[in-house]
Structure 1
Amino acid sequence: MQLIRRFESAAALEDYAAELSLFARPGMVVLLKGDLGTGKSTFARAFIRALAQGVEFDVPSPTFTLVQTYDETRVPVAHADLYRIGSAQELDELGFGDLMATHVLAVEWPEKMLDETHADRLLIELSGSGNHRDAVITARGAWEQALARNAAINGFLATTRWAAAERRFLEGDASFRRYETLHRGHEVAILMDMPARPDGPPVKYGKPYSAIAHLAEDIRAVIAVNGVLCERGYSAPKTEAYDLAQGFAVMEDLGRNVYGRMMREGQDMGEPMSAAVAVLADMASREWPHGVPLDGQTYRVPPYDVEAQLIEVDLLPSWFWPHLNGAPIPPAALAEFEALWMEFLPLTQKGRRVWALRDYHSPNLLWLPERKGLNRVGIIDTQDALMGHPAYDLASMLQDARVDIDFGFADALYEQYCALRRDDPSFDRTEFDVAYAILGAQRATKILGIFARLSKRDGKHGYLRHIPRVSHYLERNLAHPRLATLKRWFDTHLPAARRETA
């Protein structure tokens, strides 16, 4: 992929560097070619400062140090000037091989020594003088995808009132879903970038995991689910503009007062958590649609069926068991494991189905104290909502995998929920207690597998520190008398003491 751009000022070149930084991730390389004074350092400094996300620090020229690294930026970045490099041995001594794996590289004078065939390469050839600069931009691999996506975003924003907005990185998974903030004067909005999910390899029944677990395939789920939540008076982000085909949306920014951050800071969570419980009790009292009209079509909310629940618990024998034991699970233990879940999971399919958001926990709840009643709870990350049992979201919230929630506090909130639903004719406390224990155990089982997979497959080892907390939740759920046989399986094959040291 090749582009030709003209920049009429140094500021325009800096703005473009900042824009491209939104897509940077370790392993990507930016090669900057051009004569002295054509803007190579201008681009590199702007790229690095944008990755710093508002943190001010000096970005000196690496002319004499040759390589300057910045590990405090959103993505670790290394800025190199190879003008004085005389041999490949010198380059090896600088540790370029290691930096390429852990940093995004911005390299001036790359023609001196660096291999320009790198898979994820962005080559920017600068020329010109005075006020303007011309750039021939050649992209490969991930950079080619990034430039195409960036052009599509700018095209989408041009159809909205945010065409001239400043874009800043917020968060995201570069392979599937990303978020940016859009700044227009004192106004701020969220840009959601959610292309259609690529199918993974078949794992069962000839279908990929995402299809069996009913994960959202594209941005239609977000627009449909949030739209209904807003119509019913809940504080999901309102959508201002969207493009279903390309997977873009401009949405309301609900702020950064996230429950998880508040908990880590030691803030009083009594009122916020009580309000979040009240939201779930209110949702459980309503009828929820199986289909949502959307642009002349209907978005179908899938069921949280036994097939989906089973593929989720299968993450434990598939990933956590090998992580703990260094070997695959024996066939007999696997068969017993699956048979036990086939006994318990159908019990959660009874009663009235509601929208189970599946991610109703501290990273996705925001406290909005300036609003009233149930509107004080902001709800994000709703795209994987299914028709399921109302106990699932309560378990998600009170058995949070990422932050500690005192068991006594959680039990009091559980009693509050049951009290709020006492007069609901669809609420059976005994049945709900059993479903809560089953779904809490199912969710904990799934998460143990996910955290092991994130470590083994994706190199994200930080998630392993949450395993003891999730294991404690699992033990509490297994203590319900109805789950005695499932508890026996875990005690025999994966006792708590071993899980918690994983």
Structure 2
Amino acid sequence: MIPPAAAPAFLAQAGWGDAAVVPLAGDASFRRYFRVIAGARRAVLMDAPPPHEDPRPFIAIAEHLTGHGFAAPRILARDLDGGLVLIEDFGDLRVKEHVEEHPSAELDVYRRAVDLLADLHRLPAADVPSYDRAVYQREAGLLTEWYCPAISLPVDEQAYVDAWDSVLPLVEQSASPIVTVLRDYHAENIMLIDRVASHGLGLLDFQDALAGHPAYDLVSLLQDARRDVPPDVEAAMLAHYRAIANPPADFDAAYAVLGAQRNAKIIGIFTRLWKRDGKPRYLSMLPRMWDLLERDLVHPALGPVAEWFTANIPADKRHHALQDHVPT
């Protein structure tokens, strides 16, 4: 986590020339983050190196969100060609660690996170691409592209595509409005901040936003890949969303379909992070992802997809099939 060579000149031009730069975090992408400290001032340096990353979508969505009263980081300086962006620092208090340290706060924090989504879903979608069939299929296909080969399991890939084609119209033809889908709305990307606006929650990691179904971000929040959200909390928050957003009757079925699609995608992504990118720690999350996927597959709307999994991936090739590769 050494700052990029261009960082000192970029920070000097932005008025942070004497600041200390310390590693903050990386994530599952090529992006890296550094905290920039100059006396009492704090900011975050995002290194989104081209050609792997492009900071423009992050900036566009951040400005869209702040323009509507949500707490996304303010953009303090930018070098688009170099992939450097200086952004507001929301501190270190993530929802994940807060609710793990204070379990009694879990329902309140998640209720606020659902309230924020309901507010977002009352607005027209941002000017972003559509979450369309091609994207759904490409993402779901990560499971057969990466996970199945990793466990040396031949499967019927065309039947997998066909199964998803038979259930995705329920989402595409839903009576729900098309909204901004942040796509990574979960406890590690939501900060607790001292601000009345945006329900006291700061938003991160939304650069891949698309225009799609409102259930997707609820799935991302309540079927979290990185922490166990108790089923009773998930049920309570779904009931809360229904009460404040009054979604159409097909909402629960769409939630299940998008949950299965997202969880299948993440199983593929976590396997790819191990096989391609040398990040085996993500394999430790696969049992959780299989648990979530199997819960979603019980819904009648997912019948064809559930049948494919039964026919193609035996139980012993699911939850713990790759655990021997998890680092100790």
TM-score, structure 1 normalization: 0.61
Shifted more, 454-463 versus 384-393: the winner is 454-463
Secondary structure of the corresponding residue to residue 226 of structure 2:
coil
Q: Which residue of the partner structure matches residue 239 of structure 2?
A: 415
Shifted more, 278-287 versus 454-463: the winner is 454-463
Kindly state the Cα deviation for residue 284 of structure 1 after the two structures are TM-superposed.
0.9
Q: Which residue of the partner structure matches residue 207 of structure 2?
A: 383
- Structure 1 pair 161/287, CA: closer, same or farther in 2 (3 Å)? same
Say whether 1:477 aligns with 2:296.
Answer: yes
* Per-residue deviation, residues 116-144 of structure 1 (Å, max 9, x unmatched): xxxxxxxxxxxxxxxxxxxxxxxxxxxxx
Indicate which of 338, 357, 375 corresponds to 2:182.
357
Give yes or no for contact 2:22–2:36 (8 Å, CA) kept in 1: yes
Please identify which structure carries the higher helix content: 2
Indicate which of 133, 142, 146 corresponds to 1:319.
146
Secondary structure of the corresponding residue to residue 381 of structure 1:
coil
- Structure 1 pair 177/435, CA: closer, same or farther in 2 (3 Å)? same
Secondary structure of the corresponding residue to residue 363 of structure 1:
coil
Give yes or no for contact 1:455–1:463 (8 Å, CA) kept in 2: yes
Q: Distance in 2 between matches of 1:174 and 1:405?
A: 21
Give yes or no for contact 2:183–2:208 (8 Å, CA) kept in 1: yes
Q: Which structure 2 residues correspond to residues 295-334 of structure 1 after superposition, within 5 A?
A: 301-324=128-151, 326-327=152-153, 329-330=154-155, 333-334=156-157
Greater length-normalized contact order (CA 8 Å, ≥ 6 residues apart): 2
- Structure 1 pair 363/442, CA: closer, same or farther in 2 (3 Å)? same
Kindly state the Cα deviation for residue 346 of structure 1 after the two structures are TM-superposed.
3.0
* Structure 1: segments with no counterpart, 5+ residues: 1-20, 24-148, 199-216, 291-300
Secondary structure of the corresponding residue to residue 359 of structure 1:
coil
Say whether 1:347 aligns with 2:170.
Answer: yes
Q: Which amino acid aligns with 1:177?
A: R
Q: Which structure 2 residues correspond to residues 38-437 of structure 1 after superposition, within 5 A?
A: 149-150=4-5, 152-172=6-26, 176-198=30-52, 217-267=53-103, 268-290=105-127, 301-324=128-151, 326-327=152-153, 329-330=154-155, 333-350=156-173, 351-368=176-193, 370-372=194-196, 374-422=198-246, 427-428=247-248, 430-437=249-256
Q: Which amino acid aligns with 1:229?
A: L
Kindly state the Cα deviation for residue 459 of structure 1 after the two structures are TM-superposed.
2.9
Q: Which residue of the partner structure matches residue 2 of structure 2?
A: 22
Q: Distance in 2 between matches of 1:175 and 1:466?
A: 17
Q: Distance in 2 between matches of 1:173 and 1:431?
A: 34
Shifted more, 439-448 versus 153-162: the winner is 153-162
Q: Distance in 2 between matches of 1:224 and 1:495?
A: 44
* Per-residue deviation, residues 380-434 of structure 1 (Å, max 9, x unmatched): 0111111111111000000001111100111100110111112xxxx31x22111
- Structure 1 pair 344/174, CA: closer, same or farther in 2 (3 Å)? closer
- Structure 1 pair 176/366, CA: closer, same or farther in 2 (3 Å)? same
Kindly state the Cα deviation for residue 359 of structure 1 after the two structures are TM-superposed.
0.4
Q: Distance in 1 between matches of 2:30 and 2:273?
A: 16
* Per-residue deviation, residues 314-334 of structure 1 (Å, max 9, x unmatched): 11111111223x24x24xx21
Give yes or no for contact 1:313–1:446 (8 Å, CA) kept in 2: yes
Kindly state the Cα deviation for residue 497 of structure 1 after the two structures are TM-superposed.
5.0
* Per-residue deviation, residues 30-57 of structure 1 (Å, max 9, x unmatched): xxxxxxxxxxxxxxxxxxxxxxxxxxxx
Give yes or no for contact 2:70–2:197 (8 Å, CA) kept in 1: no
Q: Distance in 1 between matches of 2:277 and 2:48?
A: 20
Secondary structure of the corresponding residue to residue 188 of structure 1:
strand
Q: Distance in 2 between matches of 1:463 and 1:490?
A: 22
Please identify which structure carries the higher strand content: 1
RMSD: 1.8
Give yes or no for contact 2:73–2:204 (8 Å, CA) kept in 1: yes
TM-score, structure 2 normalization: 0.91
Give yes or no for contact 1:315–1:449 (8 Å, CA) kept in 2: yes
Runs (4 or more) in structure 1 with deviation over 4 Å come to: none
Q: Which residue of the partner structure matches residue 491 of structure 1?
A: 310
* Per-residue deviation, residues 95-127 of structure 1 (Å, max 9, x unmatched): xxxxxxxxxxxxxxxxxxxxxxxxxxxxxxxxx
Q: Distance in 2 between matches of 1:393 and 1:249?
A: 25
Give yes or no for contact 2:274–2:282 (8 Å, CA) kept in 1: yes
Q: Distance in 1 between matches of 2:27 and 2:120?
A: 30
Kindly state the Cα deviation for residue 373 of structure 1 after the two structures are TM-superposed.
5.4
- Structure 1 pair 233/246, CA: closer, same or farther in 2 (3 Å)? same
Secondary structure of the corresponding residue to residue 13 of structure 2:
coil
Shifted more, 169-178 versus 387-396: the winner is 169-178
* Per-residue deviation, residues 433-484 of structure 1 (Å, max 9, x unmatched): 1111111000010111112222222332222221111111111111111112
